[in-house]
Amino acid sequence: MQQFVKDQKELLVTLTSFKKQLKSIVPIQEETNQYYKSFAGFLEKYEEAKDKAQLVPNSLAHVRLISGQKGGLLKEKLELMVER
């Protein structure tokens, strides 16, 4: 019985430590998700502005970072990262 009590106390200490670590990790992950979300929004606005102000012919205006030729894979990946 004494061994059980000792094991439970060790488990409680471990779980308390883990809870403290989670409290520091979760805000960092939320901040990262918010960054990716804002970055995807920035790229989308950038492409829209670039389309409106396409002044130089034969430039790299045909390259799409977010709404790429293959269905916007970067945007989908960034949104998937935000959801996680």
Q: What is the pLDDT of residues 30-54, one digit of tens each?
A: 888 889 888 888 888 887 777 766 6
Give the pLDDT score at 7: 93
75 within 8 A of 67, measured Cβ to Cβ? yes
What number is the average pLDDT over the span 20-29? Answer: 87
Distance CA 11, CA 17 (A): 10
Residue 78 exposed, middle or buried by CB count within 10 Å (0-12, 13-18, 19+): buried
Query: For residues 62 and 47, which has the higher predicted lDDT (pLDDT)?
Result: 47
What number is the average pLDDT over the span 61-76? Answer: 60
Cα 10 to Cα 45, 60, 81: the distances in Å are 53, 61, 35
The pTM assigned to this predicted structure is 0.47
Cα 15 to Cα 9, 21, 29, 34: the distances in Å are 10, 10, 20, 28
* Residues in the chain, overall count: 84
Q: pLDDT (tens digit, 9 = 90+) per residue, 2-19?
A: 999 999 999 999 999 999
